[in-house]
Amino acid sequence: MTERRRAVLGGSAFEEQIGYARAVVDGDRVHVSGTTGFDYTTMTISDDVVEQAEQCLRNIGAALAEAGCTFADVVRVRYLLPDREEFEPCWPVLRRAFGDVRPAATMLVCGLADPRMKIEIEADARRHSATPAVPVGASWRSR
């Protein structure tokens, strides 16, 4: 039987205070909430945007793992930053996670909930049990 809906909690105090889950598994889809650079075990956050990006990815990776996925299953990612100048320094970190995966991606400049937050990352994944619509390595142009 396919898992219909399950919340994945990440241990953030914000989940309880605001009323959301780090991720939601719905069938073969996994939706990871906007994830910031807080280390949820200590509820601390670095002042450095690159370190925040690294922590975002650790938090997302943990949620994906609990949902039965890896970064290889990510099909869509959104990057939210208050300062567009801070996006490019994060590229090497983001490329390590997504460079081989090549999910659809968007970067938005916007305010975040806490002025200490310099980046927030949201991701959608499809659990590998589903058959891909296009064979790996194929181009949409070859259809």
pTM of the model as a whole: 0.85
Q: What is the pLDDT confidence band of residue 36, given thresholds at 50, 70 and 90?
A: very high
Total structural domains within the chain: 1
Q: Contacts from 55-63 at CB under 8 Å and sequence distance 24+?
A: 56/119, 56/120, 56/121, 57/93, 57/94, 57/97, 57/121, 59/10, 59/22, 59/35, 60/32, 60/35, 60/121, 60/123, 61/97, 62/10, 63/8, 63/10, 63/22, 63/23, 63/30, 63/32, 63/35
Give residue-wise pLDDT tens across range 59-81.
999 999 999 999 999 999 999 99
Residue 140, domain member (yes or no): no
Q: What's the confidence (pLDDT) of residue 13?
A: 77
Residues 6+ apart with CB under 8 A from 141: none
Can you give the residue range of the structural domain that contains 41?
6-129
| Nearest Cα residue to 24 out of 16, 33, 36 | 33
Distance CA 106, CA 124 (A): 12
Distance CA 19, CA 16 (A): 5
Residue 2 — pLDDT band, cuts 50, 70, 90? low
**Does the pLDDT of residue 137 top 90, yes or no?**
no
State yes or no: pLDDT of 41 exceeds 50.
yes
With respect to residue 10, please indicate whether it lies within any of the assigned structural domains: yes
Quick check: is 136 in a domain? no
* Residue 142 is assigned to a structural domain of this protein: no
Q: What's the CATH number where 29 sits?
A: 3.30.1330.40
28 in a structural domain: yes
Q: How confident is the model at residue 82 (pLDDT cuts 50, 70, 90)?
A: very high
Determine the Cα–Cα distance for residues 77 and 125; give it in Å rounded to an integer. 9
In DSSP terms, 54 is beta-bridged to: none
- 36: in domain: yes
* Structural domain includes residue 139: no
The verdict on residue 45 lying in a domain is yes
Alpha helix stretches (DSSP H) within 18-138: 49-66, 91-98
